[in-house]
């Protein structure tokens, strides 16, 4: 980790966070409150994380500062079903599970998430649900579905806290790159935070029916304990309270048999760490009580997205060039990801075209559609080509017919097909494409295909 | 600043950035290329910044880690007009300018941006344009316009690089809090980066007409210089090339008069820092050339948003309570800012209501509208009240009439007014409100007002 110091003195060390997860666990109690104590619920965080890698390598894949997006989904360990599981049940994933890897194979089995959970290849429904959501997310970003696989961690590489863990890996020129992790971290984090802070990080749930509970209970005679141990009385009391059920049961038998028990304690005033408690001071008995609530530490399912890695792999996967022309590169970013959705090009430097381009730009901006005008003196083919390489999905040309009848052309980056229509028609088509309510196929089916100046050839 | 070290050794110090600006200046050359060398253009960056404040104070206003959003708008120092200035010209701002402050007054003058630029209270149009955009942005976030003022930096508090600087200040219980800075940083940053890196950070623009330029030029006889200075020849050559026009003019006169000149140099091989150059080695003459381009270092206008401070002030300004009931607090976040847009409440725990609430939630989610279901056992009035306090602007109730006719109610947080309509009508109203295409007044005018169970009283 990166270490620094905080405040005026060098005595207070601080570390840059290596993941966002722990900050979320610290908020668990508050988040549970906000959720009215009901389960399951999730928190999410996105932000820079820092790891002082000794030797950063493989280009941009192993870096010291990176953007991490993590979801912590808290779930009852006895109810790892997920209500929206049916939405992902039939998604078929290439799973490189533990057994396949241990048998020395590298070919994943393709199997539906439903089958994988049923056969316990994936540990539980909630974990399966998130694997499904991860692949849907990646494909929506533009990732090539045939270049995604899910690899299960082997027992010897899995973090000590995880009970199952899968990595979504994307295929690049570096090979398969781990981009999203999805771990069932069990109750590990909350348990450890609770142990070190003393704060209770559990969920209390009303039981449908009260349950009769038999348990051993220990009681110290306060007065006699005070007389006997003086200042150490509190330490002894605390040591008794920490005893669990098996310990109490054993001590009860010993007390019965010998009339006294020996008990380990933290260091007392005289330095000893052991006291003898006779039955005049200590009584242990079996009691019965009605339990109306159930208390448990939630398990955490954690999908963890390395945003930089995903973007790097995406850029590699969507970069290609036109057939027979290695110089004409195209970056096929989908509309949802491309920083600029629309390129606006005035056909020539004719001063009448520029105001139309700027008015159209302002109109798209008001609709929240990011766009850029390229009014440079390069040829229109050159301007399209360089914006293809920048990944701008749509292009609008303002030309001399625009001056006559107000019509403009709309061009799709990957196919280079153009349609022509009134500015209103084209703006509506762009809006539909950006919002995902219409496909390019639908646009070309209902609008006039434009043969035009053939500037793309 | 916070200091750390990078890599395996402690020898490489790094610092956490105290602002985002410098990272953007480092990219200037690339960004100018992306913009095809044309001016003006802007870059923007948002991210965490870190300052190791000795004593953080005033609650959340002075913190060591904060979110900063900065725009660097590069502009020709001779063309500080802005094409979109007319959009903000008539906006009236409360300006606490230098003169007012120096005269000991604290009451700002209210004046339109157009007048302020014309009378040079605000230095230039581009700076004025951004002041206008800043106030529009703040008001859109929900800031109370009567609690915003713009204060100009006095000469003695202005950073050495700035030629004019204004702070947007918001009124809170701490007094006026500086939330957005807007400085004209002149050419300072690019000039200094260029000086220390040796990289040229200038813009070259074709002149409309070539201009005849007369200038002094120095030439060293390479062969004789080599013979005379050996290994030092390059240092001498560089020293000659660094001479500016006034220096060349003076040396030309000296050379003419004495037949030789003395020239300061960096340390030579023998430790001396001065050479004598006779006219056999050095000639200086006046030449004429046609200049076709103009070269300049852009000025930078920098609006800089302290996101945490803006949010803190906003939360203070929109927090109030119902008349005569201090316990019923309301957080009047506008729809654009509220994390959840819609609260969905099933009227009772009747098991038929919950599936309808969940279906409605999924429908809104598909429209990209963040919503939350509160199906807890609290009374509906209690559930509305606590979501008013959380700032959720809209509430939909699913009740027993929903089971009969599919209608639901839609409630507006601040007025507590409810309308009733079919689920389709209500979803369309929500969509219009969220997208800003319809106001609540328009919704109440066209839909049936619902008197209902009066659960808000």
Query: What's the pLDDT tens digit per position in A370-423?
Result: 999 998 888 999 999 999 999 999 999 999 999 999 999 999 999 999 999 999
- DSSP letter for each residue of B384-429: HHHHHHHT--EEEEE-HHHHHH-EEEEEETTT--EEEEEHHHHHHH
Please confirm whether the linkage preceding B40 is cis (ω < 30° from 0): yes
B411 vs B195: which has the higher pLDDT: B411
Which residues in chain A have Cβ-Cβ distances shorter than 8 Å to B6?
Answer: 2, 52, 64
Pair A166, A259: CB distance under 8 Å:
no
Q: How many angstroms away from the CA of B254 is the closest CA of chain A?
A: 49
**In the predicted structure, residue B455 carries a pLDDT above the cut 70:** no
Alpha helix stretches (DSSP H) within B19-112: 21-26, 28-34, 98-102
**Mean pLDDT, range B62-78, rounded to an integer:** 95
Contact B36 A376 (CB under 8 A): yes
**In the predicted structure, residue A457 carries a pLDDT above the cut 70:** no
**Mean pLDDT, range A146-165, rounded to an integer:** 89
What is the SS3 assignment for B430? Answer: helix
Pair A28, A37: CB distance under 8 Å:
no
- Report pLDDT for A456: 60
A288 forms beta bridges with: A214
Q: How many angstroms away from the CA of A8 is the closest CA of chain B?
A: 5
Pair A337, A314: CB distance under 8 Å:
yes
Pair B149, B130: CB distance under 8 Å:
no
**Mean pLDDT, range A89-94, rounded to an integer:** 97
- Report pLDDT for B128: 97
Q: Which domains does chain B have, with CATH numbers?
A: 3-190+298-309 (3.30.930.10), 208-294 (3.30.720.200), 322-449 (3.40.50.800)
B53 vs A320: which has the higher pLDDT: A320
Average pLDDT of chain A to the nearest whole number: 93
d(C-alpha B62, C-alpha A328), whole Å = 51
pLDDT digits (tens, 9 = 90+) for B216-269: 999 999 999 999 999 999 889 988 988 889 999 999 999 999 999 999 888 888
**In the predicted structure, residue A144 carries a pLDDT above the cut 90:** yes
pLDDT digits (tens, 9 = 90+) for B99-118: 999 999 999 999 999 999 99
**In the predicted structure, residue B74 carries a pLDDT above the cut 90:** yes
**In the predicted structure, residue B376 carries a pLDDT above the cut 90:** no
Which residues in chain B have Cβ-Cβ distances shorter than 8 Å to A54?
Answer: 7-8
d(C-alpha A39, C-alpha A57), whole Å = 42
Count other Cβ atoms within 10 Å, centred on residue A114.
19
A396 vs A159: which has the higher pLDDT: A396
| Strands A274-278 and A282-296, sheet pairing | unpaired
**Mean pLDDT, range A210-232, rounded to an integer:** 91
**Mean pLDDT, range B66-91, rounded to an integer:** 96
**Mean pLDDT, range A72-87, rounded to an integer:** 95
* Residue A429: both structure tokens together: 């088509």
Give the residue from chain A lying closest to B367, CA to CA. Answer: A435
φ and ψ at A445, to 5 degrees? -70, -30
Of A3, A6, A36, the CB nearest to B376: A36
Contact A52 B2 (CB under 8 A): no
**Mean pLDDT, range B263-276, rounded to an integer:** 89
Instruction: Assign B339 a pLDDT band (cuts: 50, 70, 90).
Output: very high
Give the residue from chain A lying closest to B53, CA to CA. Answer: A7
Average pLDDT of chain B to the nearest whole number: 93
Instruction: Assign B454 a pLDDT band (cuts: 50, 70, 90).
Output: very low
- Report pLDDT for A90: 98
Give percent of chain B above pLDDT 90.
80
Instruction: Assign B281 a pLDDT band (cuts: 50, 70, 90).
Output: very high
**Mean pLDDT, range B13-28, rounded to an integer:** 93
Complex-level ipTM: 0.79
Contact A16 B6 (CB under 8 A): no
Instruction: Assign B456 a pLDDT band (cuts: 50, 70, 90).
Output: low
B337 forms beta bridges with: none
Q: How many angstroms away from the CA of B54 is the closest CA of chain A?
A: 5
**In the predicted structure, residue B331 carries a pLDDT above the cut 80:** yes
d(C-alpha B398, C-alpha B352), whole Å = 10
DSSP tally for chain B: helices H, then strands E: 15, 22
B272 Cβ contact partners less than 8 Å away, ≥ 6 residues apart: none
* Residue A75: both structure tokens together: 């779930």
- Report pLDDT for B34: 86
**In the predicted structure, residue A455 carries a pLDDT above the cut 80:** no
Which residues in chain A have Cβ-Cβ distances shorter than 8 Å to B14?
Answer: 2
Which residues in chain A have Cβ-Cβ distances shorter than 8 Å to B47?
Answer: 48
* Residue B199: both structure tokens together: 């990289």
Of B48, B52, B374, the CB nearest to A6: B52
Radius of gyration of chain B (CA): 32
**Mean pLDDT, range B314-326, rounded to an integer:** 94
**Mean pLDDT, range A132-161, rounded to an integer:** 93
Of A2, A7, A36, the CB nearest to B54: A7
Q: What angle do CA B420, B397, B419 make, to 5 degrees?
A: 20
* Binding-site residues on chain B for chain A (CB distance < 8 A): 2-8, 14, 16, 36, 38, 47-48, 52, 54, 64, 374, 376
What is the SS3 assignment for A153? Answer: coil
């Amino acid at each position: 980790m990166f270490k620094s110091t905080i405040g005026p003195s060098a005595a207070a060390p601080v570390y840059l966070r290596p993941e966002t997860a722990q900050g979320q666990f610290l908020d668990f109690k508050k988040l549970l409150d906000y959720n009215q104590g009901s389960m399951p619920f999730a928190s999410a965080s996105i932000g820079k994380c820092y790891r002082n890698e000794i030797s950063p390598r493989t280009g941009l894949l192993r870096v010291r500062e990176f953007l991490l997006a993590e979801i912590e989904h808290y779930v009852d360990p006895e109810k790892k079903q997920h209500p929206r599981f049916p939405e992902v049940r039939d998604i078929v994933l290439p799973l490189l599970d533990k057994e396949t890897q241990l048998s020395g194979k590298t070919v994943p089995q393709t199997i539906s998430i439903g089958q994988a959970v049923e056969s316990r290849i994936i540990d539980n429904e909630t974990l399966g649900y998130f694997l499904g959501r991860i692949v849907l997310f990646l494909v929506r970003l533009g990732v090539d579905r045939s270049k995604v696989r899910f690899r299960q961690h082997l027992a010897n590489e899995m973090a000590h806290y995880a009970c199952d863990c899968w990595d979504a890996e994307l295929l690049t020129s570096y090979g398969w790159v781990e981009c999203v992790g999805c771990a069932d971290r069990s109750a590990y984090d909350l348990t450890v935070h609770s142990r070190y802070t003393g704060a209770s990080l559990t969920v209390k749930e009303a039981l449908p029916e009260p349950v009769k509970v038999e348990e051993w209970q220990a009681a110290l005679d306060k007065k006699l304990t005070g007389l006997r141990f003086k200042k150490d009385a509190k330490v002894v009391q605390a040591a008794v309270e920490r005893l669990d059920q098996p310990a109490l049961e054993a001590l009860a038998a010993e007390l019965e048999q010998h009339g006294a028990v020996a008990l380990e304690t933290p260091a007392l005033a005289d330095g000893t760490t052991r006291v003898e408690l006779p039955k005049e001071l200590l009584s242990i008995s079996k009691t019965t009580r009605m339990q109306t609530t159930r208390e448990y530490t939630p398990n955490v399912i954690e999908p963890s997205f390395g945003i930089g890695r995903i973007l790097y792999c995406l850029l590699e996967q969507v970069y290609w060039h036109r057939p027979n022309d290695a110089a004409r590169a195209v970056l096929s970013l989908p509309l949802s990801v491309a920083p600029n959705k629309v390129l606006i090009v005035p056909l020539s430097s004719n001063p009448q075209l520029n105001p139309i381009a700027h008015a159209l730009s302002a109109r798209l901006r008001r609709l929240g559609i990011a766009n850029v005008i390229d009014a440079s003196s390069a040829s229109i083919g050159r301007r399209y080509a360089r914006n293809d390489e920048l990944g701008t999905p749509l292009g609008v040309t303002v030309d001399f017919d625009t001056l006559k009848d107000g019509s403009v052309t709309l061009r799709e980056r990957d196919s280079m097909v153009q349609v022509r229509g009134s500015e209103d028609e084209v703006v509506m088509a762009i809006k539909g494409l950006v919002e995902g309510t219409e496909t390019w196929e639908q646009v070309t089916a209902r609008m006039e295909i434009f043969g035009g100046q053939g500037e793309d050839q």
